[in-house]
């Protein structure tokens, strides 16, 4: 069946609501409107106002009350309207959602999913295009997930709702309307996935950049490079095994994300890969990221966002002519 | 006599009370006086609570606790509110509310675990229906609202009572919580212990409204102003609020006799005259005088309660004076439901260091 990513997410929510009476969906405009991206379209009608409802407009309130509800045995799935509008909830997320299991020695479980449409590329004006993943991945106790395809959006959201741990579910809003089959491989939530195999270089991507990385792999054929693409899917906990197996095989890697590079999630990926695969590397692991600037206005965002050319340029810089490496191998 | 006060969005101009500061009953009481049995229990629990508090302060001076925020002077709030709670109700306390916890039946050593520093929490919240002691100010208000709303959705007859301070009423979460509670008509009681200070900052720099209880009207939440040193009145208003089935904001006017914590120097921001005036309004003395004048509390019973309090404190002392082992491996537990590979590796590395 062919669906958009938004449609796949809608289906996942509907199936979870139908399967488990403790699942609730709430947030801003998620009821009658179906969410500003229509991800909750029709759910309030089908499941009623006690299961799917609009809340007062207050993000800390949404997450804080979700914590209380989860303590009382429910499984809230809440929506933040946009990435930057989740910041008012940051204290509840970092000080409580992430820590309560540990604080209570496992007595309190918080199966809360916070859905956050994130990233740029939709011509959004200021505050509508942030890639905020690193704020969450830096917080132990959170699981941070971001799908790259409609099929994975369905599967990962179902898995996130079933998870006993709190999940920050980052939805790449520029891919909401991308279509795909609901029939991909059944991969456990915490595993990365090789989306395309190749022998020369590994592109490590997630969320909105998975499609860009796959396009790059196609374009690279003309340049004579056989590119492998790894889709991280779950950013934390990190799947070192899948990523390192790929990099050890290819000996070269580029990490791609929309977020600013400095102190970004990609820095962690580069560090982990370097620490674990150093002797297999023919070149430093490079990053292609957004610049270290506040997210630019829509008329300029194309210059900020990583694209195929920029990724190909990075691949070209991976010391392909290094005689020493050629001679002695890695 | 049954009093049915109409629930009003605005509080009374003067705090509601049942007992004057000398322990005499107020003329024309605005609330129903609790039963004698309740009053005796309020007294007993306040005496034990105060002794526990003094013991905890002493243990801090001896280095057994990392820090202790005393609630001396606030016993009427802590005990009155907790005794008003039903067995199915939930309490969402702060760092200040150790006396409330032990009154609820939480193990006293477990109550002090956070402050002793061995772990962040020393009890199972589900055992006595007490949320974790909350340090980030006002964040627990939203947990209480969510919990109470969930109970409503599940068809359970459970209310939640959240404790917060005067300073915490300035935090955004308090306002979001009052608003959510009003919109959802959640069965939740906000008990503001207005002890006059947020560490050093006096109420005058915190609030411009006629009272903290006045804030309820902005959210459609009925509000009550009560004398926070009158345990009978606190008990009565919390009971009323719990039975209403909807949200209530209660401001209890009280005073923190000790410094903010043992690490604070209160002489930098308040006078001893001010403290003396509040010592004169002591909440324990007040109930004691009333019960004595009614002939309900004689010397024998007073001595028995005092002895019980001593025993309670001695047990706490013994528990806290025992050196405890703190297993470093525990840091890695319960970060996620299933330990991640990375955490297992880090735990093993630390175990190697400490072996
Ligand atoms: C969000 C937040 N900001 C600051 C602090 C530091 N802090 C701890 S207690 C306190 C004062 C709180 O005053 P109040 O709410 O009146 O409660 P009280 O301590 O008087 O019981 C402050 C500023 C904190 N714990 N949380
Ligand atoms: Mg205070």
3-state DSSP assignment of residue A120: coil
What CATH number is associated with residue A157?
3.40.50.970
Kindly state whether residues A114 and A163 are assigned to the same domain.
yes
> A60 and chain B: CB distance < 8 Å anywhere?
yes
The pLDDT tens digits for B135-144 are 999 999 999 9
Answer yes or no: is pLDDT of A330 > 70. Answer: no
d(CA A206, CA A230): 8
Q: Cβ contacts (< 8 Å) between B119 and chain A: which residues? A: 105
Residue A323: per-residue pLDDT: 53
Residue A183: per-residue pLDDT: 85
Q: Chain A: residue nearest B172 by CA?
A: A60
What is the residue-averaged pLDDT of chain A? Answer: 96
Count up the domains in chain A and report the number: 2
Gap from CA of B270 to ligand 2 centroid (Å): 13
Identify which of A64, A102, A237 has the shortest CB distance to residue B146: A64
Query: Distance from B121 to chain A by nearest Cα, in Å?
Result: 6
Of the pLDDT bands very low, low, confident and very high (cuts 50, 70, 90), residue A186 is confident
Kindly state whether residues A114 and A222 are assigned to the same domain.
no
The pLDDT tens digits for B311-334 are 999 999 999 999 989 999 999 999
Q: Which of B189, B182, B164, B255 is nearest to B221 (CA)?
A: B182
**Does A109 fall in a domain?**
yes
Cβ atoms of A151 and A182 within 8 Å: the answer is yes
The values of phi and psi at residue B67, to 5°, are -160, 150
d(CA A166, CA A110): 6
What is the complex's ipTM, to 2 decimals?
0.95
Q: Cβ contacts (< 8 Å) between A102 and chain B: which residues? A: 120, 333-335
Cβ atoms of B224 and B24 within 8 Å: the answer is no
> A238 and chain B: CB distance < 8 Å anywhere?
yes
Kindly state whether residues A165 and A198 are assigned to the same domain.
no
The values of phi and psi at residue A168, to 5°, are -95, 115
Of A158, A181, A204, at which residue does a domain stop?
A: A181
Cβ atoms of B93 and B140 within 8 Å: the answer is yes
Identify which of B124, B141, B335 has the shortest CB distance to residue A140: B335
Q: Can the peptide bond before residue A237 be classed as cis, meaning omega within 30 degrees of 0?
A: yes
Structure tokens at B146: 């969510």
Task: Test B150 with A73 for CB contact under 8 angstroms.
Answer: yes
Q: What average pLDDT does range B24-34 have in this prediction?
A: 97
Contacts of B322 (CB under 8 A, 6+ apart): none
Of A134, A161, A181, at which residue does a domain stop?
A: A181
**Does A188 fall in a domain?**
no
d(CA B71, CA B292): 25
Kindly state whether residues A113 and A36 are assigned to the same domain.
yes
DSSP letters for B38-77: HHHHHHHHHHHHHHHHHHHHHHHHTTSSS-----TT-HHH
Handedness of CA B85, B87, B93, B95 (dihedral sign): positive
The burial of A95, by beta-carbon neighbours within 10 Å (0-12 exposed, 13-18 middle, 19 or more buried), is given as middle
Cβ atoms of A53 and A65 within 8 Å: the answer is no
Output the CA–CA distances (angstroms, integers) from residue A262 to A126, A257, A294, in the order listed.
Answer: 21, 12, 12
Q: Which of B97, B93, B96, B100 is nearest to B79 (CA)?
A: B100
The pLDDT tens digits for B223-234 are 999 999 999 999
d(CA B53, CA B66): 15
**Does A186 fall in a domain?**
no
Kindly state whether residues A29 and A171 are assigned to the same domain.
yes
Ligand 1 pocket: which of B100, B138, B199 to mutate (most atoms within 8 A of CB): B199
Kindly state whether residues A128 and A210 are assigned to the same domain.
no
Residue B1: per-residue pLDDT: 40
Output the CA–CA distances (angstroms, integers) from residue A199 to A161, A251, A328, A330, B33, in the order listed.
Answer: 36, 9, 18, 14, 82
Cβ atoms of B43 and B284 within 8 Å: the answer is yes
Residue B141: per-residue pLDDT: 98
| Direct distance between the N- and C-terminal alpha carbons of chain B, in angstroms, rounded to an integer | 69
Characterize the bridge pairing of strands A113-118 and A75-79: parallel
3-state helix, strand, coil in chain B (%, to 5): 50, 10, 40
Kindly state whether residues A21 and A120 are assigned to the same domain.
yes
Kindly state whether residues A321 and A219 are assigned to the same domain.
yes
Structure tokens at A300: 């300029």
The pLDDT tens digits for A107-134 are 999 999 999 999 999 999 999 999 999 9
Kindly state whether residues A152 and A295 are assigned to the same domain.
no
Characterize the bridge pairing of strands A52-54 and A23-27: parallel
Percentage with pLDDT > 90 across chain A: 95
**Does A93 fall in a domain?**
yes
Looking at residue A22, the DSSP 8-state letter turns out to be: T
Structure tokens at A47: 């499941």
Domain coverage including residue A24 = 2-181
**Does A234 fall in a domain?**
yes
What CATH number is associated with residue A256?
3.40.50.920
Which domains does chain B show, CATH number per domain?
36-324 (3.40.50.970), 326-355 (no CATH)
Q: What average pLDDT does range B194-209 have in this prediction?
A: 97
Kindly state whether residues A137 and A20 are assigned to the same domain.
yes
3-state DSSP assignment of residue B345: helix
d(CA A277, CA A202): 13
**Does A160 fall in a domain?**
yes
Task: Test A68 with B160 for CB contact under 8 angstroms.
Answer: yes
In this structure, the residues whose C-beta lies within 6 A of any atom of ligand 1 are B 96, 135-137, 165-168, 195, 197-199, 256, 260
Kindly state whether residues A245 and A126 are assigned to the same domain.
no
CB count within 10 Å of CB A219 equals 16
Cβ atoms of A63 and A79 within 8 Å: the answer is no
Residue B190: per-residue pLDDT: 99
Of A181, A202, A218, at which residue does a domain stop?
A: A181
Handedness of CA B199, B200, B203, B206 (dihedral sign): negative
Kindly state whether residues A156 and A254 are assigned to the same domain.
no
**Does A111 fall in a domain?**
yes
**Does A206 fall in a domain?**
yes
């Amino acid at each position: 069946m062919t669906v958009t990513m938004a449609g796949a997410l809608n289906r996942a929510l509907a199936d979870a609501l139908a399967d488990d009476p403790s699942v609730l969906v709430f947030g801003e405009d998620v009821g009658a409107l179906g969410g500003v991206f229509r991800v909750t379209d029709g759910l309030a009608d089908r499941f009623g106002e006690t299961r799917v409802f609009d809340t007062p407009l207050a993000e800390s309130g949404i997450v804080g009350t979700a914590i209380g509800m989860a303590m009382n045995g429910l499984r809230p799935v809440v929506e933040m309207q946009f990435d930057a509008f989740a910041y008012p909830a940051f204290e509840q997320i970092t000080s409580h959602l992430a820590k309560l299991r540990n604080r209570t020695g496992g007595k309190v479980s918080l199966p809360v999913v916070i859905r956050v449409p994130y990233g740029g590329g939709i011509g959004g004006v200021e505050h509508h295009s942030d890639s905020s993943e690193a704020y969450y991945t830096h917080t132990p106790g959170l699981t941070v997930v971001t799908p790259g395809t409609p099929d994975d959006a369905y599967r990962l959201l179902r898995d996130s709702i079933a998870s006993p741990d709190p999940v920050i579910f980052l939805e790449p809003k520029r891919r909401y309307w991308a279509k795909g089959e609901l029939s991909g491989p059944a991969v456990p939530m915490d595993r990365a996935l090789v989306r395309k195999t190749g022998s020369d270089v590994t592109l490590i991507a997630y969320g909105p950049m998975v499609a860009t990385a796959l396009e790059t792999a196609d374009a690279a054929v003309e340049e004579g490079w056989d590119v492998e693409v790894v889709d991280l899917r779950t950013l934390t906990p990190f799947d070192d095994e899948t990523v390192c197996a790929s990099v050890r095989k290819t000996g070269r890697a580029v990490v791609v994300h929309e977020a600013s590079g400095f102190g970004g999630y990609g820095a962690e990926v580069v560090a982990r890969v370097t620490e674990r695969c150093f002797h297999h590397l023919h070149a430093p692991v490079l990053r292609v990221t957004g610049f270290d600037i506040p997210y630019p206005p829509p008329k300029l965002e194309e210059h900020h966002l990583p694209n195929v050319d920029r990724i190909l340029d990075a691949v070209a810089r991976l010391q392909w002519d290094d005689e020493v490496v050629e001679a002695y191998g890695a | 006599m049954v009093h049915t006060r109409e629930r009003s969005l605005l509080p009374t101009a003067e705090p509601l009370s049942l007992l004057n500061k000398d322990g005499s009953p107020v003329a024309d009481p605005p609330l129903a006086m609790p039963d004698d049995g309740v009053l005796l229990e309020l007294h007993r629990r306040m005496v034990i609570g105060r002794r526990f508090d003094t013991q905890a302060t002493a243990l801090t001076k001896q280095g057994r606790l990392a820090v202790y925020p005393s609630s001396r002077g606030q016993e009427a709030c802590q005990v009155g509110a907790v005794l008003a709670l039903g067995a199915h109700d939930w309490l969402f306390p702060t760092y200040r509310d150790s006396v409330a916890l032990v009154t609820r039946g939480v193990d006293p050593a477990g109550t002090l675990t956070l402050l002793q520093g061995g772990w962040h929490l020393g009890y199972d919240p589900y055992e006595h229906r007490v949320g974790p002691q909350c340090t980030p100010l006002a964040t627990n208000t939203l947990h209480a609202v969510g919990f109470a709303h969930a109970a409503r959705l599940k068809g359970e007859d459970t209310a939640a009572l959240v404790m917060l301070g005067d300073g915490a009423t300035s935090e955004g979460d308090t306002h979001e919580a009052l608003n959510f509670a009003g919109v959802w008509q959640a069965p939740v009681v906000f008990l503001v212990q207005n002890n006059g200070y947020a560490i050093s900052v006096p109420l005058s720099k915190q609030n411009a409204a006629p009272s903290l209880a006045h804030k309820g009207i902005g959210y459609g939440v009925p509000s009550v102003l009560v004398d926070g040193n009158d345990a009978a009145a606190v008990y009565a208003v919390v009971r009323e609020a719990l039975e209403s089935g909807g949200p209530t904001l209660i401001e209890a006017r009280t005073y923190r006799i000790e410094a903010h914590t043992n690490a604070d120097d209160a002489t930098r921001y308040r006078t001893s005259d001010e403290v003396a005036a509040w010592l004169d309004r002591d909440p324990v003395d007040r109930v004691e005088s009333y019960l004595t004048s009614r002939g309900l509390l004689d010397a024998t019973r007073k001595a028995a309660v005092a002895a019980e309090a001593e025993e309670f404190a001695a047990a706490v002392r013994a528990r806290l004076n025992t050196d405890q082992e703190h297993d470093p491996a525990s840091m890695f537990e319960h970060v996620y439901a299933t330990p991640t590979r990375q955490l297992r590796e880090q735990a093993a590395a630390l175990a190697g260091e400490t072996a």
